Structure 1
Amino acid sequence: MTGWLASVANPAEIPLLLPAAPGILDLKDPSAGALGAWAADDIAATMRALAALPGRPWLSATIGDHPMRPEAVEPAARRIAATGVDFVKIGFAPDGAPDRCIDALAPLAAEGVQMVAVLFADLWPPDPGCLPIDRLAAAGFRGAMLDTAGKRHGLRRHWDDAQLSNFVCCTRAHNLLTGLAGSLRVADIPALSALSPDYLGFRGALCGGERTAGIDPQAVARVATAFAGLPDLTPQPRPSAPSRS
């Protein structure tokens, strides 16, 4: 059964989302770009605040928008990993040196950091064979998510559903957690859930349309209700809880 991820702009939004029980709270500053980062101290404080919460959602955090240079990406990933967050999300674009960045991050994966690569559908060709999925798996990444760098058009304007299905299948074949995001709407949930990604990610749909606006509890309820009404067709094994061991 596909779960959902909710992007959270600040700690004050978290109580508005917890009753809807998203599987992942994604700590990301939408005013600072596609993968704008929270301050590391705020991430660590949020981890401490939610640590004792029974059945708490997993927490992911972005490292910020960085050029594809190892000397920029690796320190940023290490800084966010030091907060103890469950998943560290890192954006990958085809320009620059994405392969060198992946290689530079492999030691962090070997230390037990659960990293998720965010691949931008409006920057990469609409073909999973063009994506560095095999290299991510070999480097020890935990997952790969297809998102959009620009938010004017949704994910399905860049890749059609057959191409998205191929991405999900390819990612699963490499034993990676798989996700789809990028200006998704409530209306996208049935079709994309049918592709069996582990997660669908949302921000704008939780704010009533504009991703830089605040969380709208009524919009959150619409997303949660859409997931509650999905048929349980062919459930996939759920990923095990993150571990640093």
Structure 2
Amino acid sequence: MTRLLASVANLDELALAARGGADILDLKDPKAGALGAWAPDDIARAVDTVHLWPVRPPLSATVGDLPMEPAAVTDRVARTWACGVDYVKIGLVPSGDPAACVAALAPDARRGARIVAVLFADLWDDAGRLLPDIARAGFAGAMLDTAGKGSGGLLRQKDIGQLARFVERARALGLLTGLAGSLAVRDIAALLPLAPDYLGFRTALCAGADRGGALDPAALAAVRSAVPNHADIA
């Protein structure tokens, strides 16, 4: 079943997204880049907040837009994982040495860190090239997103066939799969048949499709109604 991941910028949005039925709450600062990170203290507060709820959706947290340098990547992932989230998302870009970064994170994955690799459809010609390395390193999942939020959404960067191959290859390697990148409500019907584990949203959840603005309950409701939830399927 495909779940709805909502990226939230603060604790107020965290609660709003949970009330609106988001399946996964993704801690991300949209004003700080494609994978802008929350401060560690704020991540820890979010974890503490969610632990008080009777029903606790999984939390993921981004680590920021980092250079592909193993020391920088492993340090940030370790610090973010230590905050108590369920998943840590790390963006992989072609510049630098992304393969070395993946290999350097393997010990953390073996120790239990659930790491999700984010590959950017507008930066990688072959977005699935690193998937075998990601799986061998013990990552929990891989998702396809976009880095340049003003250059068009995911479906402008890759066609349905390319997205289907990415999802199928990642799934065959035992990875959780996700698709995101300025997705609009109109994109959902085309992406659901690919059966990714989750679809990620930020822009479509905000008033006026302004990803740097505040989450809008009506926009969230529109996305939630387009992505079948547990109750719809039961």
State TM-score, norm by structure 2.
0.95
1:201 and 2:224 aligned: no
Q: Distance in 2 between matches of 1:91 and 1:229?
A: 27
Task: Classify the secondary structure of the residue corresponding to 1:197.
Answer: coil
Q: Distance in 1 between matches of 2:48 and 2:173?
A: 33
2:127, 2:144 within 8 Å by CA — same for their partners in 1? no
Matching residue's letter, 1:119? L
Alignment of 1:1-245 (within 5 A): 1-126=1-126, 128=128, 131-152=129-150, 153-208=152-207, 209-228=209-228
Task: Classify the secondary structure of the residue corresponding to 2:195.
Answer: coil
Task: Classify the secondary structure of the residue corresponding to 1:60.
Answer: strand
Task: Classify the secondary structure of the residue corresponding to 2:227.
Answer: helix
2:60, 2:86 within 8 Å by CA — same for their partners in 1? yes
Q: Distance in 2 between matches of 1:223 and 1:2?
A: 13
2:120, 2:127 within 8 Å by CA — same for their partners in 1? no
Q: Distance in 2 between matches of 1:196 and 1:21?
A: 19
2:91, 2:119 within 8 Å by CA — same for their partners in 1? yes
After TM superposition, give the deviation of residue 182 of structure 1 in Å. Answer: 0.1
Q: Distance in 2 between matches of 1:5 and 1:174?
A: 22
After TM superposition, give the deviation of residue 228 of structure 1 in Å. Answer: 3.3
Matching residue's letter, 1:151? K
Identity of aligned residues (%): 55
Structure 2 portions without partners, runs of 5+: none
Q: Distance in 1 between matches of 2:98 and 2:127?
A: 17
Aligned to 1:239: none
Task: Classify the secondary structure of the residue corresponding to 1:140.
Answer: coil
2:143, 2:180 within 8 Å by CA — same for their partners in 1? yes
Q: Distance in 1 between matches of 2:108 and 2:101?
A: 12
1:25, 1:58 within 8 Å by CA — same for their partners in 2? yes
1:126, 1:163 within 8 Å by CA — same for their partners in 2? no
Q: How many residues align?
A: 231
Q: Distance in 2 between matches of 1:192 and 1:57?
A: 23
Return closer, same or farther for 1:141/1:127 CA change in 2, 3 Å cut-off.
Answer: closer
After TM superposition, give the deviation of residue 190 of structure 1 in Å. Answer: 1.0
Q: Distance in 2 between matches of 1:15 and 1:22?
A: 10
Q: Distance in 1 between matches of 2:221 and 2:26?
A: 18
After TM superposition, give the deviation of residue 127 of structure 1 in Å. Answer: 5.3
Structure 1 portions without partners, runs of 5+: 234-245
1:21, 1:57 within 8 Å by CA — same for their partners in 2? no
Q: Distance in 2 between matches of 1:9 and 1:49?
A: 15
1:126, 1:159 within 8 Å by CA — same for their partners in 2? no
Return closer, same or farther for 1:154/1:170 CA change in 2, 3 Å cut-off.
Answer: same
Flag as ranges the 4+ runs of structure 1 deviating above 3 A: none
Matching residue's letter, 2:182? S
Output the aligned Cα RMSD. Answer: 1.7
Task: Classify the secondary structure of the residue corresponding to 1:194.
Answer: helix
